[in-house]
Amino acid sequence: MKTLRLYGAGLLAALVLTLAAHGSSSPDFTLSLNPTSLTVQQGSSGTTQLTITPQGGFTGTVSLSVVGAPSGVTLSPTSVSVTGSGPVTLNLTLSVGSGVATGTYSLQVRATSGSLTKTANLSLTASAPGGGGAGTTWTLRNLGDSLEGVAYGNGLFVAVGDYGTILTSPDGVNWTQRTSRTDNPLFGVAYGNGLFVAVGDDGAILTSPDGVSWTARTSGTGYWLGSVAYGNGLFVAVGAKGIILTSSDGVTWTVRASGRSNWLRGVVYSNGLFVAVGRNGAILTSPDGVSWTQRTSGTSNWLGGVAYGNGTFVAVGRNGAILTSPDGATWTQRTSGTGSWLVGVTYGNGLFVAVGDGGAILTSPDGVNWTQRTSGTINPLNGVTYGNGLFVAVGRNGAILTSPDGATWTQRTSGTGDWLLGVAHGNGLFVAVGDGGAILTSPDGATWTQRTSGTINPLNGVTYGNGLFVAVGDYGTILTSPDGVSWTRQTPPTSNWLYGVTYGNGTFVAVGWRGTILTSP
């Protein structure tokens, strides 16, 4: 409130004018991190969730940096765009080089836009790699219904699955079954804005502020909901028949008119925009997740993947379909030069790389001009990744292809004809696993060596953490290796199939059939 006093000659009284300065607050923003402390091994990386909340109509690009970090600690990404009025949330990754001294560092994440600068404190503990028994002794934590999704937030693991199953754990060790009050399968769970949200069959939506007490919400749809995400201050759930639901608080949900009855297969949020793609060329966009606009894709092909890089959205799909857009609104069909189904697309080192059936590999520096590369294989390629300065694609019949630049690809001798189902990188080594107990290792992605796993059971997943590789597979198979070369079979407390394994918060967690959860140590 501003007060103005006007004095006239000889007057003893003052005229006081009160001016309500509505809307006069200057554009600003706040910055927060969750969690505010990370423990990362040398040569590895950790992630915290960064949230920027605009105030006073603030919009623009915010530059991100880390202050007080020793040499060898890097941050990614280094900028974020704020385009709407709601909070913008993203995962912030801190990489710790192998040469960083062990110890605890008091850091600050700095966010700068024009004359505005905000900081948030972050404690980073750099630890030395070492097994310490982890991955060797395994404990059966749960045996029950199949689990479909898991999330971590506010210091709690939450897993959801068939028959309304909800399990929580503060450490991945001690799990507690919670009452969901639904028999519907739950397919996905997310955490954002201080709330867990789980979605599932028959339009089921459950929310919980603590993961313990859950409340069923009215979704307004009977379609199954397959996925839920949080971004830009909004929960967005998608599912069958093109259904889109949004909620700013997780409690009150609104069915949005997607304009499509097609199933939506993928969704991404980047550059201030949600972009969803799906069956029969469906493309939908929304700046806020509330108002969705149906875009003309120019194709009836299924679109299964979408990525963003270099200022361009790229969607790929059936019959070699490639579509690009600078803004998500206007899409252009590009000539791929292949009729193969393109399964995946990634962006790294200034290059888009798409892979698919028949060994198809396509590259583009801008998403517009695509070049078909010679892969040297007719095997379907199931996935592609970028790391350590190298693109690595894997696929059927043990196919492994590598490229330092995405242009020249070399077919590697994997030594196996088995399907390769998983790949990980750690401690300077690529490790791929697959059918028949196949384990392959490579220091550079170029020269691969087949290792003796000691099992013929299919290996479905592999991870690296705490100085140890851990592979899991059928019939409760668990293998560990400190170097990827010599593998030891551990004694599992179950014979159920294990589908995946990860490492976090000092604990390995493996999940599998009939709700199996194993932890170590």
pLDDT at position 131: 41
Contact present, 217 and 225 (Cβ < 8 Å):
no
Residue 19 in this model has a pLDDT that exceeds 90:
no
Residue 11 in this model has a pLDDT that exceeds 60:
no
Q: Which of 144-158, 179-193, 442-456, 470-484 has the highest mean pLDDT?
A: 470-484
- Tell me the per-residue pLDDT of 299-348, one tens digit each, with 9 for 90 and over: 888 876 777 788 888 888 888 898 999 888 889 888 887 888 887 677 77
- Tell me the per-residue pLDDT of 361-379, one tens digit each, with 9 for 90 and over: 888 888 888 888 888 778 7
pLDDT at position 107: 93
Closest CA to 59 of 90, 33, 80, 44: 80
pLDDT at position 358: 83
pLDDT at position 256: 67
- Tell me the per-residue pLDDT of 225-284, one tens digit each, with 9 for 90 and over: 877 777 677 787 777 776 788 888 888 888 765 555 555 555 556 677 767 777 788 887
Residue 397 in this model has a pLDDT that exceeds 70:
no
- Tell me the per-residue pLDDT of 429-471, one tens digit each, with 9 for 90 and over: 888 888 888 888 888 776 778 889 888 888 877 878 888 999 9
Count CB-CB contacts under 10 A for residue 88: 21
* Whole-number Å distance between alpha carbons of 390 and 384: 10
The mean of the pLDDT values for the chain is 76
* Whole-number Å distance between alpha carbons of 333 and 175: 49
* Whole-number Å distance between alpha carbons of 160 and 515: 9
* Whole-number Å distance between alpha carbons of 378 and 401: 12
* Whole-number Å distance between alpha carbons of 361 and 319: 13
pLDDT at position 464: 83
For residues 509 and 30, the model is more confident at 30
1 pLDDT band, cuts 50/70/90, is: very low
Contact present, 336 and 346 (Cβ < 8 Å):
no
Which H/E stretch holds residue 397?
none
Task: Give the sheet arrangement for strand 205-208, strand by strand.
Answer: 186-192, 195-200, 205-208, 215-217
Q: CA 449 from chain center: how many Å? A: 30
- Tell me the per-residue pLDDT of 35-56, one tens digit each, with 9 for 90 and over: 777 777 777 777 787 889 999 9
Q: Does domain 28-127 have CATH number 2.60.40.10?
A: yes
Where are the domain boundaries for CATH 2.120.10.80 in the chain?
Answer: 412-521
Q: What is the CATH number of domain 412-521?
A: 2.120.10.80
Closest CA to 236 of 269, 213, 262: 269
pLDDT at position 195: 92
* Whole-number Å distance between alpha carbons of 112 and 110: 7
100 pLDDT band, cuts 50/70/90, is: confident
Where are the domain boundaries for CATH 2.60.40.10 in the chain?
Answer: 28-127
* Whole-number Å distance between alpha carbons of 246 and 397: 42
387 pLDDT band, cuts 50/70/90, is: low
3-class SS of residue 484: coil
